[in-house]
Structure 1
Amino acid sequence: MLSPAAIAESRAGLSEIESEYIARSLLREAPTVAPHQTNDEVMQLLSERSDVVSLPVVENGLPIGLINRNIFMDGIAKPFRRELFGRKSCIAFMDKQPLVVSEHMSIQELSFKVVGAGGKTLNDGFVITDDAGLYLGVGTGEDLVKIVTHLQAEKNRLVMESINYASVIQKSFLRASREDMAAALHDYFIHWEPRDKVGGDYYFCKKFEDGFFIALIDCTGHGVPGAFMTLIMASFLDHILLEDNRRDPAGALAMMNRKVKIALGQIGEHNIVPIEGQRFAHSPDKEQSDDGMDTAFCWVESCKLIYAGAKTPLFTLENGATEVTVIEGDRKGVGYVDTPMDYTWTNKEIALSKGMRVYLTTDGIIDQIGGTKDIAFGKKRFCNLLVENSELPLVAQKERIMQAFYTYQGKQRRRDDVSLLGFRI
C-alpha cells in the first residue's frame, strides 16, 4: 500500500492518480482459517496475533466468510460458550456474507460498496480476491478512509493549482486595461474582487488619441465558468474595437451579441439570423448553453460620454451636486438565447463637465444581502455612499465604499463577484 506521503508528492494528472489506486493497493496479508478448524484454534490464533482485526475463512482458496475479532471474543467469553463451542467449527461465529471485492476495483467504487454495506464493513473490513475469485488478502475500513481522504486532498490540490494558474491568466488579460486606464485618467479607481479566486467580472479600457473606451462586464456565473466567459468576451471585444466603431457603444454591443450567440450556438427559433439562417433555425441540442453578459460600454472624449448598457446602469455625480443621476441601460443582456440576433441597444449621450464623477458597478454590490434586515445592499444605499464621499479622491472613495459594503455584508455569504470603477473628469 502506498503511503500518504507518496500520494501527497505525486504530480500525476487526476485520471492517472485515480487509476493508480485500486482495491489491491489496500491489500493486507492476514492469517486464514479453514471451516474444519475449531473455535479454540481461532481463539489461540487471535491471542497470538493482536494485529488481526478480522480473520478470513477460506475453503479451497475461496473466501466463504469473515470472523470479526471483537464479535468472536465477546461471544466466546459468555458463560459456558467456550465449553459448548470451543471444539466446534469456526463458522459458528463467522459472518457468512462479508464484502468481497476484486483486486482491480477502483477506490471510488469500493468506497460506494463499503458505504452501501453499512458500518459492519467499516469495522470488519473486506476480502480482496483475484480475477478468478481466489483469496488474496483483506482490506480495512481504516485504510480505505485514509486513502479516500488523501485522494480527495490530492484532487483538491490539482484543482486549486489549476484555479490559481487560471487567476494568473485572467489577471494578465486585465493588465493592458489597467495600463490604458492609468494613461487616460488622473483620478480614478478600479476594484475587482472575484468571489472564488477567479470570476465572471471583467473590466476593459482602451485609450485612443481622441478619447478612451471603457467597459465593465458581468459574465454569466462566477468561479471557473465565469472566468472562462470573460476570456471569450475579452477576445471578442479586442477584435470589435479594431474597427472604427469605438464611438458607437450600442453598435459594439450588437456586434458582441452576434459573435457570442454564434460562437456558443445560442440561437433560439425567434432569433433573426441574416447569414446561414437555416443552419441555426431548429437546433436539436437539448443541452444548449444560455450564457452571456450584462455590461456597460462607454466612449469618453473631452466633452461628452456615450453610454450603452445591457442591464447595467451608469451613475454620474456632477461637481457640487447632492444627488446621483442614474442612467439605466436596456433590459436585454448580451448573447443570451432570448436576446434576438438583431437586437439593438441604445446610445445615450451625457455632457461632461469638469469635476464630474462617473461610476460603474456590477450587481455583486447592489444585490448583496446583509444588514440588520437581511436585504439587498441596493442602489439607494450605493448612491448615498457616492454622495457622502464625493469630495474625496477617487481611491479614498473606493476604500470608504468597500468598507461600508463589507460591514453591510457582515457574516452573510458572498453572493457574487464584486467589481466597481469610478473616475473624475
Structure 2
Amino acid sequence: MSDELADLKKENAKLRLEANLRKSLANQLERQKKLANDAKSELEEKHRDLISSLNYAARIQRTILPSEQAVQQVFPGSFIFWRPQNIVGGDAYFMRSSGPQGGAMFGVYDCTGHGVPGAFMTLLAERALDAGVETSKDHEDSPSRAGGILTHVDEFIRAEVNANDKASSNDGMDAFLLDYRPGETSFYAAANFKVFVQTGDGFTELESDEASIGYRTESGEAPPSYRTSPLDLSQATSLVIVSDGILDQKGGAKGLSLGRRRLKGLLEEAVTEDAGVTRLDGAGLMKAIEQYQGDEEQRDDMTLIILSLQT
C-alpha cells in the first residue's frame, strides 16, 4: 500500500510539473506574441511616418518643377510623364523664359541614384541650372549658351559635391538642355541623354556628348566641356525626351530592357493624324510602355516629355 501511495505521489508531482511547464510555456508564448505585436505596431507606425515624410518631400520636390500651365504656354499640346521610383527621385525637369520672342531654356536631368539621395541631387542641379541661366542672360543671343550652361553645372556640382578626392561620394547627372527660339534656329546641349525629333511620322535621335555632368575627373584629366548644336525645328512636330528609367525598364515575354529600338517602334505606333495635323499621342505611348513593362517592378525613376512644336 505504501508503494502504491508513493507511486501516486510521484505521478501527481509529475502531473503538476507538466501543468506548470505548460502554463510557463503558454505565458512565454503570450509574452512573445505581445512583443511581436508591439514590434509590428512600431514598424507600422515608423512606416507610416516614413511614407508621410516622403510624401511631404515629394511636395517640396514638385515645387522646383515648372507647372504644366507654364510648359503649355510655351509648348501648347505637350505631354509630361514624371514618375519617381520611390515617391521622390533623381529625375526632374526645368524651364526658364528666355529672349523677347517667347523662347525658353527647357531642360531634363537625371541625377545619380533615386529616392531621397536622388531628390537631394535634383535640388542642387536646379540651383546650378538656375545660376547658369542667370549668369548667361547678358548673352541670350549666343549660339553656345546651352553648352555653356551645362559646363557651368558640371563645375558647380564637382565643386559642391565631389571636391574632396577622398570623399566616398561621386555624384552627378545626365542632362538635356534646349535653348528654344521660336521662329529661328534653336540650339541644344546634351550630356549622355536620349532625345528624338519627330518630323511627321518619323523620328531622329539627336547626338549627345557622352560625358555625364559633375563626376570627379582622374588626376591630370581635363573636365568635360559641352558643345552646343544648332537645331532647326521649323519642320519638326515634337521633341521626345526620355530618361534612362524608360529605356532600361525591363518587360516583355523575355524580361528585356525596352531600349531605343523598341521605344522608337512604340513612338511610330503612337503617331496620330487629325484633320491633317500629325501629332504624337503621349498617353497612348505611355500606355504601350506600361503594357510592355507588365508585372515587372519599376527599376528607376521614369520621365518622358513630349514638347509639342505645333500650335
Within-5 A mapping of 1:272-283? 280=164, 283=165
In the alignment, does 2:179 pair up with 1:299? yes
Aligned-residue sequence identity (percent) comes to 28
Compute the displacement of 1:349 (Å): 1.2
Residue pair 1:318, 1:353 contacting (<8 A) in 2 also: no
Distance 1:251 1:87 in 2: 91
- Partner in structure 2 of residue 326 of structure 1: 205
Within-5 A mapping of 1:17-32? none
Within-5 A mapping of 1:334-353? 334-338=213-217, 342-353=223-234
**Deviations along 1:162-220, whole A, 9 cap, x unmatched?**
0010111111221x353431221223111111122211110111122242111111111
**Deviations along 1:221-275, whole A, 9 cap, x unmatched?**
11222112111111221122111256511111111111111111x14xxxxxxxx
Compute the displacement of 1:125 (Å): 2.8
Compute the displacement of 1:328 (Å): 2.8
- Partner in structure 1 of residue 266 of structure 2: 385
Distance 1:388 1:359 in 2: 14
In the alignment, does 2:150 pair up with 1:258? no
State the AA in 1 paired with 2:104: F
TM-score, normalised via structure 1 length: 0.62
Residue pair 1:360, 1:421 contacting (<8 A) in 2 also: yes
Distance 1:203 1:394 in 2: 26
Distance 2:230 2:67 in 1: 23
SS at the partner of 1:156?
helix
Question: How many residues get paired?
Answer: 288
Task: Give the superposed CA RMSD.
Answer: 2.9
State the AA in 1 paired with 2:171: D
Residue pair 1:178, 1:205 contacting (<8 A) in 2 also: no
Aligned in 2, Cα 1:125/1:400: closer, same or farther, shift over 3 Å?
same
Compute the displacement of 1:123 (Å): 6.1
- Partner in structure 1 of residue 45 of structure 2: 154
Compute the displacement of 1:94 (Å): 8.8
Aligned in 2, Cα 1:341/1:262: closer, same or farther, shift over 3 Å?
farther
Aligned in 2, Cα 1:367/1:239: closer, same or farther, shift over 3 Å?
same
Compute the displacement of 1:391 (Å): 3.7
State the AA in 1 paired with 2:48: R
State the AA in 2 paired with 1:215: G
Within-5 A mapping of 1:350-365? 350-365=231-246
Aligned in 2, Cα 1:183/1:323: closer, same or farther, shift over 3 Å?
closer
Residue pair 2:146, 2:189 contacting (<8 A) in 1 also: yes
Moved more, 352-361 or 288-297: 352-361
Within-5 A mapping of 1:83-232? 83-84=9-10, 86=12, 125=28, 140-174=31-65, 176-208=66-98, 209-210=100-101, 211-232=103-124
In the alignment, does 2:303 pair up with 1:422? no
Larger radius of gyration: 1
Quick one: higher RCO (CA 8 Å, sep 6+), 1 or 2? Answer: 2
**Deviations along 1:329-362, whole A, 9 cap, x unmatched?**
1111111224866310121212121443211110
State the AA in 2 paired with 1:300: Y
Compute the displacement of 1:397 (Å): 1.1
Q: Which runs of no fewer than 5 residues in structure 1 stay unpaired?
A: 1-79, 96-120, 127-138, 268-279
Compute the displacement of 1:122 (Å): 8.6
- Partner in structure 1 of residue 3 of structure 2: none
Compute the displacement of 1:396 (Å): 6.1
Aligned in 2, Cα 1:343/1:147: closer, same or farther, shift over 3 Å?
same
Compute the displacement of 1:389 (Å): 2.8
Q: Which runs of no fewer than 5 residues in structure 2 stay unpaired?
A: 1-5
